[in-house]
Structure 1
Amino acid sequence: MYPWAGQLRTVNISKRTPFCPARNLVPYAGEVFGHLASSGRLRDLPRQEFVIQLAALYGDMNVLHPFREGNGRAQRAFLARLSEDAGYDLNWPGTDLQRNEDASVKSFLGDNCLLEQLLGELITITG
C-alpha cells in the first residue's frame, strides 16, 4: 500500500491500554481515515451528531497511536483543523489532561460517552 511502510522500525506500545499492534498500523489507519473520507469528513452534520462522530474518530485515532511521542498533540491539531473545516471550533486549551486520558481509556473499552461529553464542552459553531 505505502512503499515506505516496510522500511519502518515498528514497536508495540501501550499506556494504561494497549495501542494498535505495530503490524496493523497501516491497515487500521486505512480503515479509520477511509471511513472519515467516505463520511464526507464530518461536514454538514448537526452539532450533536458532529460531536458523536468526532468522539468516535478521536477514539479510533487514539487506538491507532502510531508515534512513540506526540500522538496527543498531533491528534488535537488534526481534530481542530477537521472541526474548522466542518464549521466548528474545537478549543482544546484548558482541557483537563487526566479527564481526557480517562475518556480515551473508556473509549478504548467501547464507551465513547466521556469523550462525547468532553468534546461537547469544547465545540462551538464557527461564526
Structure 2
Amino acid sequence: MDTKNGSARTVALSTTALDVLQSLPRRLDGRVFGWQAKDSFEKTWQRCIVRAKAAYAEECAKSGKKPDPAFLADLRFHDLRHEATSRLFEKGLGVMEVASMTGHKSLSMLKRYTHIEAEKLAKKLG
C-alpha cells in the first residue's frame, strides 16, 4: 500500500471499525476497496456528499427548518483527517499514540491537524 510519506504502518482500529471492515465482502487481492480509475475515489466521495445533503434536506423539511446552503459545501475527504486527529486527542490519547495512527512524523504537522474545541478544553479544566 502506498502512503503519503512512503512509510508503511499498522494502525489500531476501534471495535466498531473492525466490525464494519469484517462485514465487507472479502476481495481476492486483499484490498478493502477496489478502485481502478484515478478519479474513482473522488467520484465515490462526491456521491456520499450528495446523499448526505439529501438526507439533511429531508430532515430539515420534516422539522420545518430551512436548509443551510453552506451545509457540507466545501467538505473534502481530507478534512476528516483533521477531525479524526482532534477527536483522538479528545478521547485522551497521547501525542505519540495519535502520531502513530495519523502517520505524522513531526509535532508541528500533528499540531496543524489538531483543532481542540475550547468548550471541551474548558470542561476538562473544571
Structure that is richer in strand per residue: 1
Could you state the TM-score of these two structures normalised by the residue count of structure 1? 0.28
Structure that is richer in helix per residue: 1
Larger Rg: 2
Could you state the TM-score of these two structures normalised by the residue count of structure 2? 0.29
